[in-house]
Structure 1
């Protein structure tokens, strides 16, 4: 994992210290500073490339919401707040996550996991290509036999109770395993979870909005919990592609 430069903008000292302690438990997170307001953080933002900001919403001067709207797509935000009423605004801004105080380490870890998956997906999608002679594949058990499926032919996975449907452009395969088990087996960066029941191939997405992803003529829902991370990933991919 590449080093991730991050900062904390938080005016409550106990919350700021707790975030610093959580960050210190991840060797790939490099904390560049703690700040009590957006104004105090301006110098570090000008002198360093900051990948991730842990951002309180209620801040003196410029609010966290207002500040987040001004950031480029290259800087990700994880909101930290004591108030649930800001959740909708946080999702609209396409923050990676929205964590309520006091922040438990387990919840913090989930937010970091969401960010690292998006980051890895972005990097792999833009910078690596699988050669036709070395096409990645998996074997899945379907109807009492093991079937070889090339990953670049899979459009998406759909969870249906205790089994999993695997869709390609022409076929649908049924196997008895959970979507989480499948997600753990797949290489990073090729597929992304958009819903508790759907795991999609990033390269197969043809269009999207805040509530749905389209793969050819299939419209798949984006779960509320996944909305911010999906929007951030897709907008980041779009912006990076335009800059190539």
Structure 2
């Protein structure tokens, strides 16, 4: 699992120390700080990405319940308390878990396992949603159809009767012309810079009178396409002078 940044908000020192000891036994949990009130924790939440909070309920000033209502929904909460009467409120706030003190390692591990399963499921859902929403093309490469997401494409290069499709990590070869491909693509995402090259506009890192830069590659900028390319690039904020 990826590293999980977490914090403890707990005003009782023994409980805070015990939580820290439990956290230390999980290699993917990265404790970013311990706080005795929600006021003390607010700054780190503004400046760093915190994935998980171990949150006491009875705290000085604002309670854990009140605080949980105000934090980013992407930050998960595991409530830690000595009182059972807040359990319903805790779960209404969609907390990952509600642990009663004193917190045993077994009960702590169960809560972390529950959080891990929820996180993995959310990542799967987000990945699937991203794939559904991201436009793509199918191209025939070596007798099979290959799916390529448009946001992964750096540029197309024409080589005779074949078309090379370059991504950051791969190159696909298909039997069609650059003009045929250009007609299939959504307008505005790609720009013809040469009779042999069609590039992703958002992948361009620089240009001059004779070439276009994409990452560390230099591609030729044809004289016939120079005016239209410059007009497109200068309309983009990142290329304005």
TM class, shorter-chain normalised? 0.5 to 0.7
User: Runs of at least 4 residues of structure 1 off by over 6 A?
Assistant: none
Map 1:1-244 to 2 at 5 A.
1-128=1-128
Distance in 1 separating the partners of 2:47 and 2:32: 11
Distance in 1 separating the partners of 2:124 and 2:69: 27
Unaligned 5+ segments in structure 1 are: 130-244
Distance in 2 separating the partners of 1:125 and 1:105: 30
Distance in 1 separating the partners of 2:19 and 2:74: 22
Distance in 2 separating the partners of 1:110 and 1:102: 15
Unaligned 5+ segments in structure 2 are: 132-241
SS in 1 for 2:72: coil
Distance in 1 separating the partners of 2:24 and 2:94: 25
Deviations 1:73-109 (A, max 9, x none): 1000000000011111111111000000000000000
SS in 1 for 2:2: coil
Per the normalisation by structure 1, the TM-score is: 0.52
What number of residue pairs does the alignment pair up? 130
Deviations 1:167-214 (A, max 9, x none): xxxxxxxxxxxxxxxxxxxxxxxxxxxxxxxxxxxxxxxxxxxxxxxx
Q: Which has the higher contact order (CA 8 A, sep 6+)?
A: 1
Residue aligning to 2:192: none
Rg larger in structure? 2
SS in 1 for 2:79: strand
Deviations 1:47-92 (A, max 9, x none): 1100000000000000000000111210000000000111111111
Offset at 1:6? 0.2
